Amino acid sequence: MPKSSPYVLYGRMDRECPTIITRGKGVHIFDEDGKSYLDAVGGIGVVNIGHGVEEVVKTISDQARTLAFSYGGSVDNIPRRELARKLQQWAPSGMGETQTFFCSGGAEANEAALKIAYQYHWERGNQNKQVVIGRWQSYHGNTIATLAMGGRTQWRRMHNPYLLNFPHIPPPYCYRCPWGHNYPGCDLVCAHDLRRVIRQIGGENVAAFIAEPIIGTSMTAVAPPPEYYPIIRDICDEYDVRLIVDEVITGIGRTGEKWGIDHWQVTPDIITTGKGLSSGYSPLAAAILREEVWQAIASGSQKVMHSYTYGGNPLSCAVGLAVLNYIEDHDLVTRSKQMGDKLLGALQREMGDLPWVGQVRGVGLLIGVELVADRLTKDPFPIDWNVTQRVVESSFDRGLLIAGGMAGLIDGVAGDHIQLSPPYVMEDEHLDFIVRTLSDSISTVVAESKGEWRVGGVIADLPACETCVACERHQATPESSSLPTCSQTRSPAAVPAPGLFC
Ligand SMILES: Cc1ncc(COP(=O)(O)O)c(C=O)c1O
């Protein structure tokens, strides 16, 4: 069988076709040769309840036999009604009686949230409130409007001419605070910056602020301090700005609470969800509206100016309901927290001291490993080393499926990170395999990259660099002069030689 199909437009044409996966069960997937891989990223933050769950498979078959499709714009169906009711039970209580708009993917949900947030203001006579403020290094989807709200530089660049002129504030990235502050002595400038931007644009022009409560694929598992979202909520209220929380990754228990925003006990105006809502068994996403939001439309034009053909189709909604029931029946949100705490602790113990692991962070089972060339300076690896991709490939060869976080978490261009988001049903033995394999892969890739590096930061067989005597734990070779600067050699008094990376 040829390695790639001539009929598929692959996202990456510069590499061999991805391995063909033919089957999945529990936390494992299997390729066409029968080799198994531990799916430590749940597809891409999707497969929360595991692969091949019989209860869901039966629901699919029963529902397909009964009614696979009816168009929600003209008629209703039972699964849609039941799933909307279930989501009302799942939503933060402050949202009141929620109503839910269904669609097929996260970008659709966020685009719907944008339109509904604007319509909310429109219904109330505030037609000028059109601007949505987002955050850099956030991702809300790949349509033009969602790319514009998001701040993923790599994917925005080519399509810039089409993007709406939406402003962004910096992310709450304490590990590398954009203002150079340290929490808690920072006065939460990152949250208060929202006020500054709203005032500059004019509150009368701002419809909404959108954020991933805990950042996903663009800046894996970066979570702001406890004060952040309460401040954001207050600012939104002050300027009549709707707060949209994009829970496409963080929702449905991924972070050990039903919703990521629950960690801050803040009430959003719109929650968007997708991915784990169906756990990958069928395309499904949703925008859940706070009572006040849908009421504005209900007591105004009474027409939601937005719709998708597959939105609320009975098959996907039946799947969503079965998945939520399964999560409740097996108490999987609690499990996500417990296994997340264990996995995070084990990763921190195993890799916390590796010189190229800058930070291991996570909330529940959304975990990120930020890789750095030097832990002291937090200098990133040179971009063309492709460290993230190589760690992903090295892990894959060892039977571990992880995801490379989007390049550019530091400034849109540089920065390496790994995403782990395994199914909540993982066991201790899987945890051990993940930790061991990822650690080996990182060590191998960095050692390969540097030739002279050794695991653990000890470079035994190489001569110490004479110009690097001031450096406590680094040594260098003459060839390393093309590498980035060693933190310890920055002082000209200590080190006359340029560019030593030890
Ligand atoms: C936080 C977040 N929002 C939105 C999306 C877009 O979802 P989809 O790819 O289903 O359109 C993603 C996808 O990764 C995401 O992580």
Distance 118 CA to ligand 1 centre (A): 21
From residue 410, give the alpha-carbon distance in Å to each of 71, 224, 351, 358, 378. 44, 16, 21, 12, 10
The confidence score (pLDDT) of residue 264 equals 98
The confidence score (pLDDT) of residue 83 equals 98
Residue 343 Cβ inside 6 Å of ligand 1? The answer reads: no
Cα end-to-end span (Å), the chain: 46
Instruction: Evaluate if residue 92 carries a pLDDT over 70.
Output: yes
The confidence score (pLDDT) of residue 491 equals 29
Instruction: Evaluate if residue 327 carries a pLDDT over 60.
Output: yes
Residue type, 175: Y
Distance 374 CA to ligand 1 centre (A): 31
Query: Which 3 state secondary structure label does DSSP give 25?
Result: strand
Q: What percent of the chain has pLDDT over 70?
A: 89
Interval 332-361: pLDDT, tens: 999 999 999 999 999 999 998 888 899 999
332-450: CATH class: alpha beta
Pocket test for ligand 1, best of 275, 282, 366, 421 (most atoms within 8 A of CB): 275
Interval 381-413: pLDDT, tens: 999 899 999 999 999 999 999 999 999 999 999
| More reliable by pLDDT, 369 or 494 | 369
The confidence score (pLDDT) of residue 488 equals 36
Q: Identify any residues that bridge with 368 across adjacent strands, giving them in sequence order.
A: 361, 419
> How far apart are the C-alpha atoms of 306 and 286, rounded to whole Å?
13
Domain residue extents for the chain:
106-273, 332-450, 459-489
Secondary structure (DSSP) of 170-218: ----GGG-TT---TTTTTTHHHHHHHHHHHHH-GGGEEEEEE-SS--TT
The confidence score (pLDDT) of residue 172 equals 98
Average pLDDT over residues 61-80: 97
- Minimum mean pLDDT among 315-319, 435-439, 483-487: which range? 483-487
The confidence score (pLDDT) of residue 486 equals 41
Pocket test for ligand 1, best of 139, 217, 282 (most atoms within 8 A of CB): 139
Phi, psi torsion values for 311, nearest 5 degrees: -65, 120
> How far apart are the C-alpha atoms of 387 and 446, rounded to whole Å?
8
The CATH classification number of 106-273 equals 3.40.640.10
Q: How many other C-beta atoms lie within 10 A of the C-beta of residue 199?
A: 12
